[in-house]
Amino acid sequence: MPDIEFSKKIIHAIEDKTTYYNIEILPKVLDSYRLIHSCVKSLMDVLIQRSLIKPDPYKLEKKISGVELISNEPFTDAERSLVIGTRISDYECILDYICTYNKFSVDNLSFAKIKKFVDFNSTFNWNSFNEASAFPNTRGLATLINDAKRGASSIAVNTINDIIQKCSTTTKLINATLKDLNEFQKEAYKAYIRKDIFEHPKFNAEKASKSITDEQAEIKRIFPIAMTKQNYYPSLIEEIAKEDLSPEKATLQENLLKKLVIEKKDTTKKVKQIDPKTILLTSTLALSGLSPQLEAIINKISENKIILQSENLSFFEKLSQKLRKLFNIPEPPVIYTITITEPSTGASTKEKIDIQEFIALIQKKIIFYNSFSVRQSPGFVKIEQSPADKILEFINKQIAEAQKLITQFIAIDNYFKTTATPETRQHIKGLKIEITSLKNTIISTNQHRVDYISFIEEQEQMKKLGITNE
């Protein structure tokens, strides 16, 4: 007869591992999808800014109700911008749905859903991202991305390459987890058979115990009664019968129980190994993300400045401008009177700003932030070797300066929009998207800073109570 004791062990192991997946593993898959979503949005911003694709005018009208597969049909070179623009917009919308509405749990990720996720993940082949790809979507997007890199600064190119690498690494992690989950779902399916069919009053255990074939036949007879919402998988039913009745049953049972073991982690050791300084260093790396966003902003400011200047230049002023460029003579100061609005109080003040000096200041900041954007860089190593209190002081200062810059950017953006004539206003490029990205980066940087402060305060409180991690 079916091995009842073994069935109890398997059912218990499946329940424990289901909890483990739901609490420990699947939330990380959600975080990974959030990272890819953020990366894809950044790529789209780059392509839109370079006029390589256009924003999808129908995006807000699309109703996403689940993970949908995006076409990978071929298209002509002339259609590339339109087709890839539409497909990457759809891809981003579905990622947004996944991150916002999809429930990542074992019960909600059936065999069919896991397959759909894996197929969706292959919309763009991030692992082999090049213009020679056999997949139209990957080939088309890679071509547009390479077009975006041409003429871009080294910082912008490195940022794009980093985004592609993150998408590749993160997709691999997601797919590996989904593959493991798919294998686990097979064992969970078999456990449900043992629980719902073997314990069913109409199940004939004596008849099922005669042979592997007889157990399979008895399971198949009861299946439509006890498992009305499940598909019937003959190969998995055969595995159950072999685990109960084959000459190798002892080995099969032992291997299966080992397969379902959850590796216990020593949380005490984990707490002891936490170095609060690493939280600050993570905040520092997040801070370096301001670099590409600042570059996008000063590019727009420079373009808007030219547009604004060209409105009122006389023939002789235009000639003088050309001569200055020809002989490398510095431009005379261009002073803007902008209105700064204090976010906390709403109070407004006038401020005169030399736009050329301001652009030069931002360019220096870009170089500065880029100097510690990689862990192996001399700039990051120098920060890493500093005491934690000095790093915190550094981060506090940078956040304050970045927040001040945002108020200036908002004021400059308003200045361009209100100063330009109606004829040229349509050519002025707004800074709203980039300013929002800056705010998000500062929020991320500040969150790590707050985590560090909270951790230190918690440690101090524990010391006062006489509690240590030793």
Rounded CA gap, 366 and 181, in Å?
Answer: 43
Q: Which of 170, 193, 216 is the last residue of a domain?
A: 193
| pLDDT for residue 434 | 84
| pLDDT for residue 146 | 94
User: Within a domain: residue 262?
Assistant: no
Residue 124 sits in the same domain as residue 10: yes
User: Residue 341: enclosing H or E segment and its boundaries?
Assistant: strand 335-341
Q: What is the DSSP string of 188-257?
A: HHHHHHHHHTTTSTT--HHHHTS-HHHHHHHHHHHHHHH-TTS---HHHHHHHHHHHHSTTHHHHHHHHH
Rounded CA gap, 91 and 71, in Å?
Answer: 10
Instruction: Please report, in angstroms and rounded to a whole number, the separation of the first and last CA atoms in the chain.
Output: 52
Residue 313 sits in the same domain as residue 176: no
Rounded CA gap, 436 and 448, in Å?
Answer: 19
Residue 173 sits in the same domain as residue 276: no
Residue 453 sits in the same domain as residue 315: yes
CA dihedral in degrees (371, 377, 379, 382; nearest 10)? Answer: 170
Q: Which of 167, 193, 219 is the last residue of a domain?
A: 193
Region of 420 (left: φ > 0; alpha: ψ -120 to 50; beta: rest) is beta
User: Within a domain: residue 251?
Assistant: no
Residue 294 sits in the same domain as residue 426: yes
| pLDDT for residue 237 | 93
User: Within a domain: residue 110?
Assistant: yes
Given 3-state DSSP classes, what are the helix, strand and coil percentages for the chain, each rounded to the nearest 5? 70, 5, 25
Q: Kindly tell me the burial class for residue 148, based on how many C-beta atoms sit within 10 Å of its own C-beta (0-12, 13-18, 19 or more).
A: buried
| pLDDT for residue 327 | 64
Residue 294 sits in the same domain as residue 159: no
User: Within a domain: residue 295?
Assistant: yes
Residue 46 sits in the same domain as residue 149: yes
User: Within a domain: residue 441?
Assistant: yes
pTM over 0.75: no
Q: Which of 175, 193, 211 is the last residue of a domain?
A: 193
Q: How far is CA 388 from the centre of its chain?
A: 28
Residue 188 sits in the same domain as residue 311: no
Domains in the chain, number: 2
| pLDDT for residue 212 | 93
User: Within a domain: residue 201?
Assistant: no
User: Within a domain: residue 260?
Assistant: no
| pLDDT for residue 437 | 82
List the chain pLDDT tens, one digit each, 470 residues.
567 888 889 999 999 999 999 988 999 999 899 889 988 988 998 899 889 998 877 766 677 888 999 999 999 999 999 999 999 999 999 998 998 888 899 999 999 999 999 999 999 999 999 999 999 999 999 999 999 998 888 878 888 998 899 999 999 999 999 999 999 999 999 998 998 999 899 999 889 889 999 999 999 999 999 888 889 999 999 999 999 999 999 999 999 999 898 876 544 444 445 678 888 998 998 898 888 889 889 888 988 888 887 766 555 555 565 665 666 666 678 899 999 998 878 889 999 999 989 999 998 999 899 888 878 788 888 999 999 999 999 999 999 999 999 999 999 999 999 988 888 888 888 888 888 888 888 998 998 899 889 888 888 877 777 665 54
Amino acid making up residue 151 = G
User: Within a domain: residue 221?
Assistant: no
DSSP letter assigned to residue 347: -
Rounded CA gap, 296 and 441, in Å?
Answer: 14
Q: What is the span of the domain harbouring residue 138?
A: 4-193
